[in-house]
């Protein structure tokens, strides 16, 4: 009897997998869009940032690049 419950649970999980994947893809796309907008903004104001802020932004962007590759 326990195996039947397990099979039903697995089937139920797979039944909703496509909508769950779509939700997660949307979240990733939204996060990437926000990140891209923030990078674009920083590139526009880079000339007025102080040295420490530039150093920090450079370190963050390098970490982002490492995470992508």
| pLDDT tens per residue, range 46-57 | 899 999 999 998
**% pLDDT > 70, the chain:** 97
pLDDT at 28: 93
Using DSSP, state whether 1 is helix, strand or coil.
coil
pLDDT at 19 over 70: yes
**Distances from the Cα of 61 to the Cα of 27, 31, 38, 43, angstroms:** 21, 15, 11, 11
Model-level pTM?
Answer: 0.63
Average pLDDT on 20-29 reads: 91
Packed helices 17-45 and 51-68: angle between N→C axes, nearest 10 degrees: 150
**What is the Cβ-side half-sphere exposure of residue 52, based on CA atoms within 13 angstroms?**
0
């Amino acid at each position: 009897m326990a195996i039947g419950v397990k099979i039903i649970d697995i089937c139920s999980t797979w039944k909703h997998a496509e909508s769950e994947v779509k939700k997660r893809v949307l979240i990733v796309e939204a996060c990437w869009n926000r990140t891209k907008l923030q990078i674009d903004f920083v590139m526009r104001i880079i000339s007025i940032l102080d040295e420490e802020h530039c150093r920090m932004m450079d370190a963050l962007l390098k970490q982002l690049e490492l995470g992508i590759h």
